[in-house]
Amino acid sequence: MIRSSKLSTKFSNKEKKQNLILFIDEYKKVTQFFIDLLWEKDDVPKLLPKEVTSQVETWLSARAVQCAAKQASGIIRGTKKKNKERQYVYEQLLKSNLFKKARKLKNFINKNDKPNIKYLNPELDIRFVSFDFENETSFDIWLTFSSLGNKLKIEIPLKKTKHFNSLNGKIKTGIRLNAKHVTFMFESEVEKKTIGETIGLDIGINVVVTTSNGQFKEEDEHGWTFNKIIQRLNKKVKGSKGYAKVQQQRTSFINWNINNLNLSNVKTLKLEKIKNVRKGKRTSRFLNRWTYAEIKGKLELTCEKLGVQVIYVSPTYTSQRCSSCGWVRRGNRKGQEFRCNQCSNTMNADLNAARNIVTNLRPIGTKERLLQNNRTGFYWKEVGQDLMVPVVQ
């Protein structure tokens, strides 16, 4: 497992900051040169030969040019691989007569053909960077950059953050460099669990997370709920100090919820893969303050630390299906209450959805969804079943 942490370069003086920017700008120019040179080639090696690297005119050292060439090669190969995958999806959409989606994807492919390195961060290894963790100054770390070229040597003072200190594992010798921060990488080995139960987890707006075994936290000790915090954030002006303060409260509430989950006997966690969350003008302002990505990221990090495998499933009809009898109908769910109009099963809607997520259900395709059978109702069966879904304990 590899985790990263950023430390600010704000403690550097003006000259050091200018030298950092000078090096980064030149590094980007060299990287862009190699991308332009090799983009049309079919086969790009990981390490570029000397006859290629010698073509660039720069004051960077031969080592730094080699480093930029290696990074450019990785960017080219990664971008071409993604474009190839997108082209395959485009062809499959055409075969399925989904022309609107195919057209959108084709436009995206055309716009994102050649890689953009506007926000490129140089990746420097031990050949360029040395660390001093045991200095007698008021700073925690001194970074020294050398072998950059033009006899340039930069010493950067850094102070550790709370996040940096919370990460365990061995610090890797390489760093990512930015004008405003330096990114460190931590490497630690966590074995995936082989024994334990599989549970489902529903991510909600009123309750952050609800598990299929009944774990959830509706409000904290101060009476705050997730919905109240989002409503409060909705009233603040984006970019203001008040907005930032409530945003931090939202993050703290999410972390508190997930940290309270008991995953000690859990081997696999099933999550719903949510897309197009903000679709619809009426709810877009409220949902813009709700952050699925932040919840998902915190869950993934927690599971990775504990060795819990994460599996994503489609969220289709999971909130409308009865986890007791398997009957799917749009009218089953009303707010936070789920009431099945077939078997009269009544329970918390998020808990019901979490139990459906953990159940091994038969996949429902796009064509089947377009029939909108959930309006009148139908039985959604588990894989391998012919009649009805059994009761989920």
pLDDT-wise least confident of 199-203, 257-261, 289-293, 346-350: 289-293
Rounded to the nearest integer, the mean pLDDT of the chain is: 87
Rounded to whole angstroms, how far apart are CA atoms 378 and 360?
17
Are 120 and 25 spatial neighbours (Cβ–Cβ below 8 Å)? no
Residue 115: closest CA among 78, 70, 67: 78
Helix, strand, coil share of the chain (percent; to 5): 40, 20, 40
Query: What is the sign, positive or negative, of the torsion defined by CA atoms of 41, 45, 50, 54?
Result: positive
Enter the DSSP assignment of 192: P
pLDDT of the residue at 390: 42
| 329: three-class secondary structure by DSSP | coil
Position 108 pLDDT exceeds 50:
yes
Position 107 pLDDT exceeds 80:
yes
Position 3 pLDDT exceeds 60:
yes
CA 45 to the chain's CA centroid: 29
Rounded to whole angstroms, how far apart are CA atoms 38 and 69?
10
Position 34 pLDDT exceeds 50:
yes
pLDDT of the residue at 48: 92
pLDDT band at 238 (very low <50, low <70, confident <90, very high): confident
Contacts of 122 (CB under 8 A, 6+ apart): 23, 24, 27, 28, 67, 68, 71, 176, 177
Are 131 and 155 spatial neighbours (Cβ–Cβ below 8 Å)? no
Position 261 pLDDT exceeds 90:
yes
Are 359 and 201 spatial neighbours (Cβ–Cβ below 8 Å)? no
| 123: three-class secondary structure by DSSP | strand
Instruction: Render pLDDT for 352-369 as a digit per residue (tens, 0 to 9).
Output: 999 999 998 888 877 788
HSE at residue 142, side-chain half, CA atoms within 13 A, is: 11
Q: What is the CATH number of domain 197-379?
A: 3.30.420
pLDDT of the residue at 391: 45
Contacts of 373 (CB under 8 A, 6+ apart): 328
Q: What does residue 2 show for φ and ψ, rounded to 5 degrees?
A: -120, 125
Position 235 pLDDT exceeds 70:
yes
CA 201 to the chain's CA centroid: 17
Helix (H) or strand (E) holding 155: strand 154-158
| 114: three-class secondary structure by DSSP | coil
Rounded to whole angstroms, how far apart are CA atoms 35 and 19?
24
Percent of the chain with pLDDT over 70: 94
Are 219 and 335 spatial neighbours (Cβ–Cβ below 8 Å)? no
Position 149 pLDDT exceeds 80:
yes
**Mean pLDDT, range 291-313, rounded to an integer:** 88
- 262 forms bridges with which residues in the sheet? none
Are 313 and 272 spatial neighbours (Cβ–Cβ below 8 Å)? yes
**Mean pLDDT, range 295-302, rounded to an integer:** 89
pLDDT of the residue at 63: 94
Virtual CA dihedral for 240, 242, 245, 251, nearest 10 degrees? -80
**Mean pLDDT, range 180-204, rounded to an integer:** 89
pLDDT band at 288 (very low <50, low <70, confident <90, very high): low
**Mean pLDDT, range 109-133, rounded to an integer:** 88
Contacts of 94 (CB under 8 A, 6+ apart): 102
User: Could you tell me which residue, 65 or 383, shows the higher pLDDT?
Assistant: 65
> Which sequence spans correspond to the domains of the chain?
10-111, 123-187, 197-379
Contacts of 146 (CB under 8 A, 6+ apart): 128, 130, 153
pLDDT band at 284 (very low <50, low <70, confident <90, very high): low
